[in-house]
Structure 1
Amino acid sequence: MLNIDEIQNGVVIDHITAGTGLALYHLMELEKLSDASVALLQNVRSQKSGKKDIIKIEGDIQSLDFNVLGYLDPQITITYIENGHVTRKVRPEQPKQLVNVIKCTNPRCITSLEEGCDHIFALTPSGRYRCIYCEQEFKVQNL
């Protein structure tokens, strides 16, 4: 059995849909963390869903944007740990706007034609994201 030590100070991102943990890892740019240890566990047994992915981050998490998690997977939970104790557990909400998280796939969109243009998507009442420039809807499987 695989053993990963308990976290003293950091976060556990849990209930990630099995097989999507690596994409989340890259989306959050966790490879760029220099003052934190990161463990990515894939296909972990789960009573609720059969299998799941988990990311454990110990150390400085101040630079991380957890808002993107609500966009990626509504089942995700974030557990904050301080001095070896859980201080809070939250389920992130869908952000109202995503900036440079996803890219517009419309070849005629200004973001495809102009260099340096931010890719901005707004949350619609239906719970989907649309490019604010061309109204192209983004589908999660485009990741």
Structure 2
Amino acid sequence: MEIRIGNDIDKERILGIRPIAAPYFTNDYFLVAQDGEGDILGFATVSLREIPAPVPGREAFILLIEILEEENYRKGIASLLVQKIIELEKEKDTYQVRAYCDIWNEGSHRLWWKNGFGISPVKNQDGSILGSFVTYAL
């Protein structure tokens, strides 16, 4: 399996399968997980932005990670995508990698925990939990 930065052809292929993902493709970058036959198994979209706090650097915010076929769930593909983002961002002036996951998405919470991210639940005023912001400081 190859994890690499995606291109316009990859984006067209992905959106042909998952058109609902279009808003998550920014002008920054995305990664694809591709098998030996050239099939895209999954992808991750990343937005780069300055941190709105008095610390140096920027953050890489993972907007979306998706594995395209259920048969490929729980095979480590999402972890490989996350680890590649961390590797790429360590080479740049990046302070942290962050993401958000909904509270009902147990698999996503396990992905972040397994990859060493800190997990911070987000609460409503009534105390209910919407989801979690996750952070990996570089």
TM over 0.5, shorter chain: no
More helix per residue: 2
TM-score normalised per structure 1: 0.29
Q: Which one has a bigger Cα radius of gyration? A: 1
